[in-house]
Structure 1
Amino acid sequence: MLKLIKTEVQYEDTLARVYELMQLDLQPDTKESDELEILSMLVKKYEEEHYPVPEPTPLEAIKYKMEQMKISDAELSEILGARSRKSEILSGKRKLSLSMIRALKERLNISADILIQLY
């Protein structure tokens, strides 16, 4: 019987069942595949409530996107406007300006909500 996960024990039991179902070669639109999908949603809801993942700082987001998109330091300097600004930004000595936030949002697709956070 499917129901909301309210305790850590229920969470662990549900995870065990999810892993069990994941080991099977499930076909779409079967009872088991539907169960896996629903249990995954329940696990996600429980994890969001009990194990929230904090948003990254602006610097963490920039560094992550640079790595993910294989952006070089020179390319980041171009986005930010100058090499010295890039090193000051990445070391935390200088805050992002509005024009830098706009450029990072457009070029690296980083949410403005993340970029405007205090750090």
Structure 2
Amino acid sequence: MMDVRPLRTEADYQWAIQQIEAYFDDQPAVGSPDGDRFDVLATLIEAYENRHHSIPAADPVQILHYAIEDLGRSQTELADLLGSRSRASEILNRKRCLTIEQAHRISTAWNLPLELLAVPYRIEQNAA
């Protein structure tokens, strides 16, 4: 008999995390009773996290800032990929959108998923 239960509260979630951690050092065989328990716990935890701890998707400008700040890329490298420093600055400051061609070029050069760069996003409108 499996002692797994629905995760309705943060306390239930913490209980499930504690239960699954025991399997990290010694993963059970697939199809075994412990393997089935591990799979059910993982599914419940994932569902709870998606419902209660979801992380909003980043837009392309946020991805570019992340690559520059955390992945060791630079605005100069971005300018080289886009053809000019002003173009890189406009994109990073939300004055201009990336084109699909630019997104593809960045994706290839920086090994970033194209699907993160090739989505619509908000640009700042100039006050006239």
Same fold (TM over 0.5): yes
Could you say which residue in structure 2 is the equivalent of 1:116? 119
- TM-score, normalising length from structure 1? 0.73
Could you say which residue in structure 1 is the equivalent of 2:6? 5
User: Does the 8 Å contact 2:28/2:34 carry over to 1?
Assistant: yes
Q: Percent identity?
A: 25
What do residues 4-31 of structure 1 show as CA deviations (whole Å, max 9, x unaligned)? 6341142232123234x16x84265397
Query: Greater relative contact order: 1 or 2 (C-alpha under 8 angstroms, separation 6 or more)?
Result: 1
Query: In the TM superposition, what is the alpha-carbon distance from 1:42 to its structure 2 partner?
Result: 2.2
Query: In the TM superposition, what is the alpha-carbon distance from 1:45 to its structure 2 partner?
Result: 2.2
Q: In structure 1, the residue corresponding to 2:15 is in which secondary structure?
A: helix
Q: Please say if 1:26 is aligned against 2:29.
A: no
Query: In the TM superposition, what is the alpha-carbon distance from 1:43 to its structure 2 partner?
Result: 0.6
Supply the distance in 1 between the matched residues of 2:52 and 2:25 (Cα, whole angstroms).
Answer: 30
Query: In the TM superposition, what is the alpha-carbon distance from 1:36 to its structure 2 partner?
Result: 4.2
Could you say which residue in structure 2 is the equivalent of 1:44? 46
Supply the distance in 2 between the matched residues of 1:25 and 1:43 (Cα, whole angstroms).
Answer: 18
Query: In the TM superposition, what is the alpha-carbon distance from 1:87 to its structure 2 partner?
Result: 1.2
Structure 1 regions of 5+ residues with no counterpart?
none
Give the total of aligned pairs.
Answer: 117
Structure 2 regions of 5+ residues with no counterpart?
123-128
Query: In the TM superposition, what is the alpha-carbon distance from 1:54 to its structure 2 partner?
Result: 1.1
- More helix by percentage: 1
Query: In the TM superposition, what is the alpha-carbon distance from 1:67 to its structure 2 partner?
Result: 4.0
Q: In structure 2, the residue corresponding to 1:95 is in which secondary structure?
A: coil
In structure 2, do the counterparts of structure 1 residues 32 and 75 end up closer, same or farther at CA, with 3 Å as the change threshold?
farther
